[in-house]
Amino acid sequence: MTKLLERAIAEVNKLPAGAQDRVASRLLDEIIGESLADEPERTLADLLAAARVEYERGETKPMSKNCVIANDQRFP
């Protein structure tokens, strides 16, 4: 581990638990993004991991049954 990363983690340790989780989610999102940039195709596991990070950060919302999907089809 680099000195800079050690310093960053030491600072994160001073934060409340909720703030630590938000930082961790962002870090994981960054790591996932960098590893996927090297690969032309995202696997289902990668997509699920990215979706989970977004969910944990509160960046998702429930889909309605009227939500437009691929080819302008709608859920029945």
Which of 12, 8, 28, 31 has the alpha carbon at shortest distance from 20? 12
Q: What is the mean pLDDT of each run of 10 residues along the chain (76 residues)?
A: 89 90 84 64 74 84 66 50
Annotated domain spans of the chain: 3-58
Helix, strand, coil share of the chain (percent; to 5): 65, 5, 30
Q: Look at the pTM and tell me if it is higher than 0.75.
A: no
Indicate the residue type of 23.
V
Burial of 3 (0-12, 13-18, 19+ CB in 10 A): exposed
